[in-house]
A = this chain, B = another copy of it.
């Protein structure tokens, strides 16, 4: 009592929810959603499984909360993008910002990328799909020819997957991101000109 009171146990107060999210995301990204059990999450946090249920009604709610919390910048980006004229500059700006947004929530996106089959069955599945289609509609000109449409999709995909695939390539992460962004921007630009 009194004194420094840094006690591990005391510290925990009030941030358990956050800690659950952190550990869960780490494990989900590492092993996948189904292979990660609530027992595992609880053990790592040194709480009981029931404690998880105090903070989240179901296992799914954990991933949903992560998705909602970490995905907000992208949602806003899409909303913003929709209201802009579909000029080349806008598209480039969107791609640039998207790249940044992805980098800011990269474990979540790694998870989404690597557990698509699972995500599809979850309630976030629809939301995620809608968002992807939202991006697509901003960037793709529906009258463009098929090849240019593919270029745009390829640009998006390059950004999604790039980071994880290149994990084993040597080099500074930020530099890699820039390189990925450059390729994506290139693709978008080519597609725009083609139209």
A interface residue numbers (CB < 8 A to B):
29, 31-35, 111, 113-118, 120-121, 146-147, 149-151, 153-154, 157-158, 161-162, 165-166, 169, 171, 175-176, 179-180, 182-183, 187
User: Across the two chains, which residue of chain B brings its CB closest to A180?
Assistant: B150
Bound Cα distance from A153 to B184, whole angstroms: 12
Find out whether the CB atom of B146 lies under 8 angstroms from the CB atom of A176: yes
What are some 14 contacts across the A-B interface (CB < 8 A)?
A32-B34, A32-B117, A35-B117, A113-B116, A114-B117, A146-B176, A150-B162, A150-B176, A150-B179, A150-B183, A153-B165, A157-B158, A157-B162, A157-B165
Q: Evaluate whether A161 and B171 lie within 8 angstroms (CB atoms) in the complex, with A35-B117, A121-B32, A176-B146 already known.
A: no
CB distance from A84 to the nearest CB of B (A): 23
Find out whether the CB atom of A157 lies under 8 angstroms from the CB atom of B146: no
Find out whether the CB atom of B121 lies under 8 angstroms from the CB atom of A150: no
Task: Write out the residue numbers on chain B whose beta carbons fall within 8 Å of the beta carbon of A182.
Answer: 147, 150
Q: Evaluate whether A31 and B117 lie within 8 angstroms (CB atoms) in the complex, with A146-B179, A175-B146 already known.
A: yes
Bound Cα distance from A35 to B91, whole angstroms: 38
Nearest first, the 10 closest Cβ-Cβ pairs linking A and B are: A32-B117, A114-B116, A114-B117, A34-B34, A146-B179, A154-B158, A150-B183, A147-B179, A150-B179, A115-B117
